[in-house]
Amino acid sequence: MVKIPQPDPGRLIASLDLRHPLLGLYDAPDPVPFAPRVRPDPGACVFAFFDDWLQGKTLHLTSDRFGCGGCGRWLFDMTPPSRADFIRFLVEGEGLKASRKLMESWLDASRPYSRRHDHILIGPLRPDQAPHLKSVIFPVNPDQLSALVYGTQYESAPGDPLPMIAPFGSGCMQLIPFADLEIPQAALGATDLAMRGSLPPDILLISVTPPMFARLCALDERSFLGKPFLKKLKTARGGRL
């Protein structure tokens, strides 16, 4: 395995008072280095394992054991048994689009993640597995979200790909919705009502590509991390975000 050093997020974690561990989504050939691992039962939501992540465990997904159908579609390109029933459920059952036609066009336009290996693993960051890291996930409160949005914009110029997107889709889709993982980009996540109940009410997620993670970890005191806006916000919050 080619050694690719993982950027050190220590300064970012300390500056933004990040309380929850950063998570990684890995596409790996071997799940053994990710122990301890947990596996989902059929129909289980990825985010039902949030507490397991906080305890240092990694969720292990495969094409024959991926939990809910939404995860199967996005991470393993599984086709629903009945496309018509699936669209009917999303539109008439849950009211997620104004019409079946709109939902069908969205499904046609969205491309599932293209796996390289048999194992998708979601859990605490593992620097020794950096070559297989596909996205980094920040559990954040609204203040920390605001600061990270600043961070994604810090090196972005007009005409660059959007540094921050807010895609429509399932919560697991929002973990890795990027068209190109080589572009520095972030995505707002955990906006799927179906999975919100598995998270604390004040927590959202930001997922970032590895290049954006490197940019965020490179922020220093010359950036907003060391400037009055952030200091004033911390003061307003009693000393920490």
pLDDT values of the chain reduced to their tens digit, one per residue, 241 residues? 445 689 999 999 999 999 999 999 999 999 999 999 999 999 999 999 999 999 999 999 999 999 998 899 899 988 878 889 989 999 999 999 999 999 999 999 998 999 999 999 999 999 999 999 999 999 999 999 999 999 999 999 999 999 999 999 999 999 999 999 999 999 999 999 999 999 999 999 999 999 999 999 999 999 999 999 999 999 999 999 9
The residue segments making up the domain with residue 212 are: 10-77+112-236
Specify if 100 maps to a domain.
no
Which residues, at least 6 apart from 58, have a Cβ–Cβ distance to it below 8 Å? 34, 35, 36, 37, 38, 121, 122, 123, 124
156 occurs within a structural domain: yes
241 domain-assigned? no
| Count: domains in the chain | 1
- With respect to residue 94, please indicate whether it lies within any of the assigned structural domains: no
Q: Examine residue 5 and state whether it is found in any structural domain, yes or no.
A: no
2 domain-assigned: no
DSSP states along the chain: ----PPP--HHHHHHTT--SPPEEEEEES--GGG-SEE-PPTT--GGGGHHHHHTT-EEEEBTTB-SSHHHHHHHH-PPPS-HHHHHHIIIIIT--SSSHHHHHHHHHH------SSSEEEEEE--GGGGGGEEEEEEEE-HHHHHHHHHHHHTT--TTSPPSEE---S-TTGGGS--S-TTS--EEEE---HHHHTTS-TT-EEEEE-HHHHHHHHT--TTSGGGSHHHHHHHHHTTS--
Residue 30 inside a domain? The answer is yes
